[in-house]
Amino acid sequence: MNSGGSTSVGLGITVNDFARYVTDGTVNAVAVGSDGTTYIGGSFKYVGPVTGSGVPIDTATGNKSATFPMVTGMVAATAADGAQGWYIGGSFTYVGGVPRNNIAHVLADGTVDSSWNPNANGAVSALAVSGSTVYAGGSFTSIGGLARNRIAAVDASGSASSWNPNANFEVWALAVSGSTVYAGGGFTSIGGLARNHIAAVDATGNATSWNPNPNAGSGVYALAVSGSTVHAGGSFWTIGGLTRPGIAALDASGSATSWNPNANDMVRALAVSGSTVYAGGDFTFIGGQTRNHIAALDASGSATSWNPNANGEVYALAVSGSTVYASRASGAWRGTTSRRSTRAAWPPPGIRTRTAASTPWR
């Protein structure tokens, strides 16, 4: 690391050195060479630039956005605002130096929206946008200036609307289809009715008659809507009246369809592209095939030949054209070790892209 800061903290190292770089472990020794280069040693494996916990990434180069503000805390959910900006949710206190508790709007130019501040008093785990309304789910009990237990609709001014499903436990997944909001989580009551871990909520905030009713003690972590079908992923064993371990397709009546990939462990992430459903999670077998933590499933529920073979759990998925973006905790794709560069180029730990084979995008 090249020394070039302005405030000395001893050993010839400046505050700016520490502000620009981070390791993934403990630094036990520091020395500065005669040319101003700082050498560090310790129990870490990777060194890279400080980016904060959430940044947009260039899909062509893998480089981070130069204008996105630093987030102090953890980002757990993002949603595009439709104008090249982003809504972000998580467990954080500042965005770009501006106080923002757990939810914020970052404009296209990288500035924090000064007029939108819902100020959630607990973590925001899920976001979904429909028109000028932002739906938020999490563990909060107050947001947008009103008491809202774990799920809320926030308007363009940052205020909570009258929509109030009032979940009795955390909401971890949201999806919007027309005037219906699908919610997944650990709750057993929402929208005024008993609903185990998954529900459809109408425009008034009431739960509809749609009730897949997964087994008690489970959870729904991922939702994806395709037409009249809702795909659900989680830790359930039964859902929609049938045995469907970890993943299911639910019809308009709330019943499970014949589609049954039968995962051997929980599904944490889902993305749909045409007739293909991409799944990520803890599983090592799905769709009748060995698939480590990530898979593509066809219309019959069988795994396709697409097999990225991740060596760690996959927590998030997104599809753009023929490319699937996946995020995980750490590790490698098919023997290619994840790396954080000691230079300022962006190679975030736990993010890779795959088409038929791993691309050079880092």
Both tokens of residue 130? 């429909």
Q: How many CB atoms lie within 10 A of CB 99?
A: 12
Same domain, 67 and 174: yes
pLDDT tier for residue 152 given thresholds of 50, 70 and 90: very high
**Percentage of residues of the chain with pLDDT beyond 70:** 85
For residue 24, the model assigns a pLDDT of 82
Residues 7 and 130 placed together within one structural domain of the fold: no
| Residue 27 sits in the same domain as residue 163 | no
Question: Average model confidence (pLDDT) for the chain?
Answer: 87
**Confidence band of 19 (pLDDT split at 50, 70, 90):** low
pLDDT of residue 4: 41
- Confidence class for position 60, pLDDT limits 50, 70, 90: confident
Q: For residue 360, tell me if it sits in a domain.
A: no
Domain final position from 9, 26, 45: 45
- Report pLDDT digits (tens) over 112-143: 999 999 999 999 999 999 999 999 999 999 99
Residue 323 lies in a domain: yes
Asked if residue 191 and residue 249 are part of one domain, the reply reads: yes
**Same domain (yes/no): 142, 29:** no
Query: Is residue 348, in this structure, part of any structural domain at all?
Result: yes
pLDDT per position as a tens digit, 332-342: 333 222 222 22
The reply to whether 30 falls in a domain is yes
Cα–Cα distance, 287 to 331 (Å, whole number): 24
- Kind plus residue range of the DSSP H or E element containing 18: helix 15-20
Task: Indicate which CATH number applies to the domain containing 235.
Answer: 2.130.10.10
Structurally, the chain folds into a number of domains equal to: 2
- Give the Cα separation of 270 and 314 in Å (integer): 10
* Predicted confidence (pLDDT) at residue 349 exceeds the cutoff of 60: no
DSSP designation for 1: -
Return d(Cα 304, Cα 99) in angstroms, integer: 46
Check whether residue 119 and residue 238 sit in a common domain: yes
Residues listed for the chain: 362
Domain range enclosing 31: 1-45
DSSP-H helix ranges across 183-227: none
pLDDT surpasses 90 at 66: no
Considering the domain architecture, whether residues 300 and 245 belong to the same structural domain is answered as yes
The arithmetic mean of pLDDT across residues 46-75, rounded, is 84
Which pLDDT band holds residue 76 (cuts at 50, 70, 90)?
very high
Q: Is residue 362 part of a domain?
A: no
Amino acid identity of residue 287, one-letter, is G
* pLDDT, position 37: 86
Whether residues 170 and 291 share a domain: the answer is yes
Whether 356 has a pLDDT exceeding 70, the answer reads no
Residue 359 falls inside a structural domain: no
Residue 206 shares a structural domain with residue 297: yes
The pLDDT, as a whole number, for residue 53 is 81
Distance between CA 105 and CA 102 in Å, rounded? 11
Q: For residues 118 and 160, state if they share a domain.
A: yes
Are 81 and 26 in the same domain? no
Judge if 232 and 341 occupy the same domain. yes
Average pLDDT over residues 277-295: 98
Q: What is the pLDDT of residues 203-248, one digit of tens each?
A: 999 999 999 999 999 999 999 999 999 999 999 999 999 999 999 9
pLDDT band at 258 (very low <50, low <70, confident <90, very high): very high
Mean predicted confidence (pLDDT) in 54-72: 85
233 inside domain = yes
Q: What is the pLDDT of residues 169-209, one digit of tens each?
A: 999 999 999 999 999 999 999 999 999 999 999 999 999 99
Considering the domain boundaries, does residue 182 fall inside one? yes
pLDDT for position 93: 97
